[in-house]
Amino acid sequence: MDALYSALEPKLRERGQWELFEEIELPLCRCLAEMELAGCRVDSKALSDFGGLLSRRAEELESDIYRLADGEFNINSPKQLGEVLFDRLGLSHGKKTKTGWSTNADVLEKLRGEHPVADAVLEYRQLTKLKSTYADGLLKALDPDGRVRTSFQMTVTATGRLSSTEPNLQNIPTRTDLGSEIRRMFVPEAGNVLVDADYSQIELRLLAHISGDEGMRAAFLSGGDFHAETASRVFGVERKDVTHEMRRRAKAVNFGIVYGISAFSLSQDIGTTQKEAKAYMDAYFATFPGVRAYMDRVVEQARTDGYVETLYHRRRDLPELSSSNFNLRSFGERVALNMPIQGTAADVMKLAMIAVWKRLKAELTQARLVLQVHDELIVECPAADAEKASTLLKEEMEGVAQLSVPLTADAHWGKNWLEAKG
């Protein structure tokens, strides 16, 4: 230990990362260890019943697909599926992969009007994914005491996020009604509840803070619906005249900006022409000029330094920026834009976890942190402590960093993870 400290401490200090180590990474270790040890209780009966339901429905779809395709084949093989769809049935193909025509969800959705088998395959894919990865996967990982225990990795991601393996509890379905049923099967011990608290728009708030863009800061300070506020400013209409479609498009632009999106991908996202998507991006940058200035600044700085860093000095090296390969260089630029935002969000969440963990130890000894999903924390506690735990989570998550825009978190509780999501 002494040898490691004497070798590594000066290196960290030189890079301005000693505080990152002492105040974030090191104290987080114990917190994560306790979370891993606590695990999450799963209703195994409900899970295995659900698995049975999925199997039966997948089997029905399987025979539908064989009938519609006029022959049997391995639906799980993209190669065989592609041959059936594009060679035998002659359906129109979209983009290519390295090995043939793509059969991904994007492509199948476009084929919906062309042949009923597309819809059947989409549904088949959803069911078999839920069955194999979640129903079977979680049952396989179940410990004898009825709890699943993930492993949180601190040294895997390039941005400072955690990752979760064996089982991955950071990608439990939420998007579809059928998929989110899996969350209903994450339950507390008898007499307990699950409390779920999540940051609202943390990455966009950090973009507003870090870029210092006045318009974007004002949109958050107004306390309203941020995507609708964005739409109002970008489309130049009164807040009350923002349509559902305008909000949807503004949301897609907000989302894409954080990742360094192109006009092409944005147009794919919102279903417009590339020209129209570019017009939205231009309007966005005209509305929030500080964001564009920040993006130019961060890429320029990254080219000079060879790395980017978060507010807490977590660093990512970017050798890609000096590549002669256009695609690789472009990738480096997108990473330079995204890492400081995503990474600072990860830093903030880690600080919040440490703060929550300390206060729970002092004030709610029966409560324990059980999961983290990037912008969301889940605590299991006695039902009688639900209100206190919710308040504690909200206070610590919101108070952990002082930004030039409000940092807000919402907390709910329930008798399972789905309910606790609120």
Partner DNA sequence: TCGATCACGC
Partner DNA sequence: CCCTGACGTGATCGAT
Question: Which of positions 261-280 make contact with DNA (CB under 7 A)?
Answer: 261-265, 268-269, 274
46-65: contacts with DNA (CB under 7 A): none
Backbone phi and psi for residue 301, each to the nearest 5 degrees, phi listed first? -60, -40
Closest listed residue to residue 75, CA positions, set 67, 56, 51, 173: 67
68-127: contacts with DNA (CB under 7 A): 74, 76-80, 82, 97-100, 102-105, 108, 122, 125-126
Residue 133 binding DNA, by CB under 7 A: yes
Kindly tell me which of 385 and 416 has the beta carbon lying closer to DNA.
Answer: 416
d(CA 100, CA 132): 25
174-203: contacts with DNA (CB under 7 A): 174-176, 179-180
Kindly tell me which of 182 and 389 has the beta carbon lying closer to DNA.
Answer: 182
Q: How far is the CB of 53 from DNA (least distance, A)?
A: 16
Residue 301 binding DNA, by CB under 7 A: no
The answer to whether the beta carbons of residues 334 and 318 sit under 8 Å apart is no
Distance of CA 253 to the CA centre of its chain: 17
The site that binds DNA (CB under 7 A) totals a number of residues, namely 72
Kindly tell me which of 108 and 411 has the beta carbon lying closer to DNA.
Answer: 108
Residue 207 binding DNA, by CB under 7 A: no
The answer to whether the beta carbons of residues 198 and 398 sit under 8 Å apart is no
Residues comprising the chain, all counted: 422
User: What three-state secondary structure class fits 241?
Assistant: helix
d(CA 269, CA 67): 33
Give one DSSP letter per residue of 229-292, joined into a string: HHHHHHHT--GGG--HHHHHHHHHHHHHHHHT--HHHHHHHHT--HHHHHHHHHHHHHH-HHHH
Tokens (6 digits) for 69: 């395709």
Kindly tell me which of 130 and 385 has the beta carbon lying closer to DNA.
Answer: 130
Q: How far is the CB of 134 from DNA (least distance, A)?
A: 8
Binding mask 325-364 for DNA (x = CB under 7 A): -xx---x--xx--xx--x----------------------
User: What three-state secondary structure class fits 147?
Assistant: strand
Closest listed residue to residue 405, CA positions, set 250, 241, 202, 164: 202
Residue 135 binding DNA, by CB under 7 A: no
360-389: contacts with DNA (CB under 7 A): 373-376
Q: How far is the CB of 132 from DNA (least distance, A)?
A: 3
Which of the stretches 50-58, 165-173, 229-237, 280-288 binds DNA when contact is defined by CB under 7 A?
165-173
Q: What is the dihedral of CA 49, 54, 60, 62, to 10 degrees?
A: -140
Residue 39 binding DNA, by CB under 7 A: no
Owner of token pair 């049997």: 72
Q: How far is the CB of 408 from DNA (least distance, A)?
A: 15
4-33: contacts with DNA (CB under 7 A): none
